[in-house]
Chains A and B, each alone.
Chain A
């Protein structure tokens, strides 16, 4: 693709800098500022959720309760999941979208800037509400992030706060998603037709539709929980004629597309980074788009594979098994396309590429264990065991989180105008990779050997692998301090000046801009040829 910049933003953009002082961040409607806010918020939540994971792992270091009571342990598993999913991974992707989508499609800003501001500023309130439950009588929610009734209805005073914070997160996500769809469909530069759009834009267009489709479903489910608890309804209470399994169906109708909300933008990011450091165009771009669309469609008809053990009719179990297995096909296409991109390319291995390669490597492991989980008879053994914990952490940590970090390393010099410390970046990658595998790989073994998930204490034969996992988790957590240091250094503009192209093999409109870009970019749209 070729571009011509019709406006030279270097001397055309003297007006409208950021407002001075702290109010800049409260009142801003600038996509770059909001992207920054989202990313910082996500990083803070990553450390908050991570410290909860360390409480979990510390308790599981040896058999017997050694640090916390079981009820607090359950609060930690619940809060860790809610914070990592809704507070760390999703806002990180929205932050990347905010920074990048307008620059990638040649738009001056997001289509709905005020909605954008509101969407972000809901989040600190939502998570303050959620975290405040830790200090309430009865403690934080302890029913697992899946909130299955009747157990969740035993939550104490935290219950309405949990529901309200989930509503707020949902509103924030829906507003972000509407904004992204509106931006992509209306604000592309002339000549940028849909199939010319970069893959990160494509991945977010699909993700945004998933969000709009399923967040209201979650809102409905948790509202029914609320009325069951306080207003005498019996949607999910068997004693009142309700159906506890109905909740699981509704929840996972949200939950499975949610899983892809957490991974599709990662596919997009990796599809930018691999070609850049391979110095070779992405293999099969069109099929990458079709694969993502196919995955998104399938995500709506596989939800019950999260609940094969509830006891469903044979025909239903077979349907959900076959549909789930089908997802392996488009996912395989994506992996193979990345491999084909690497084949006969000229690779270099800067930090973003290392994280992207780590992503492909370890996401493959997570994807393959996912295929094993689809096989219903075997799933009866895997279900709710540590095998599942290993599986979804492989797709979420070396999957989504690695892709986010790859993206940050890739575009951070563009955003700040300075290169980060490459040696430290590589050290961060290697330590993270070693520890992430030390943490999560042994979980496959203890799961297969019969250790259920969400237990605060375990039988003696599981000790060795739990100890490995705990050592890995502590190492993983400490390694992220390197990342924090690197990001802070870049934010302080400490480092060598980055070029406009940043990396040798980059392509795309965002790399036509200066590093750092002006506060307002593409006020006159570029023409894409």
Chain B
């Protein structure tokens, strides 16, 4: 066990925030899709992985990280749009388990397809040259790329918040999570809204994949454990709550990273301990509304 010096603590806090940032982005999409469409999207981890692989392919062609960050969400947004349109939407009105099983199967198909195309082994993914190395803050050295991940996530979350609070489409999102039928009655094509929301959630997952790639490399299975942990985050934050996703994502990231200093073997377990503790006190999650699935 390493001695927990202030320097190490500060570093682990940043590591935890960066990990938490990835959780935030994944949970945000999961929560948005669940809140609007009542779809428990088990393909979200596979979309995250695909985003990283699109970035890997673009990086191989151009070597430009910023282009990766721009391309992956666009490509995955289109894929998400198509998945909702042709696979998920025919299942509406049949109960929550149908889209759950469909996306569960889809994630296997996507992971296997990536194994066939790119091979079973993973690849390292270089962080962009401009963000390599460390920066000194108050006498401590922090890896620049992790700071960037936290800042980029903060920017994305802020942009999404402004979008949801201040645009017409955001108003539709806020109302549609509560009462989709009244939107129909008021002339809004709810089916189209749902396709766009699914595409948006998928695009955010892709951005999370690109941001995570330099931290852990790309592998076909990189989305598997992230998906489960992101579900834990949405449960802790409250299913369908966007603010809850942000708070819970950062909380889980910090708990994992701090536990891994004190007792590395308990790091992953700590996520579930946190979930159990939160659910015992608040069964609907930190910000959830009770009975959303009822």
A and B: interacting chains:
no
**B contacts, CB < 8 Å to A:** none
**A contacts, CB < 8 Å to B:** none
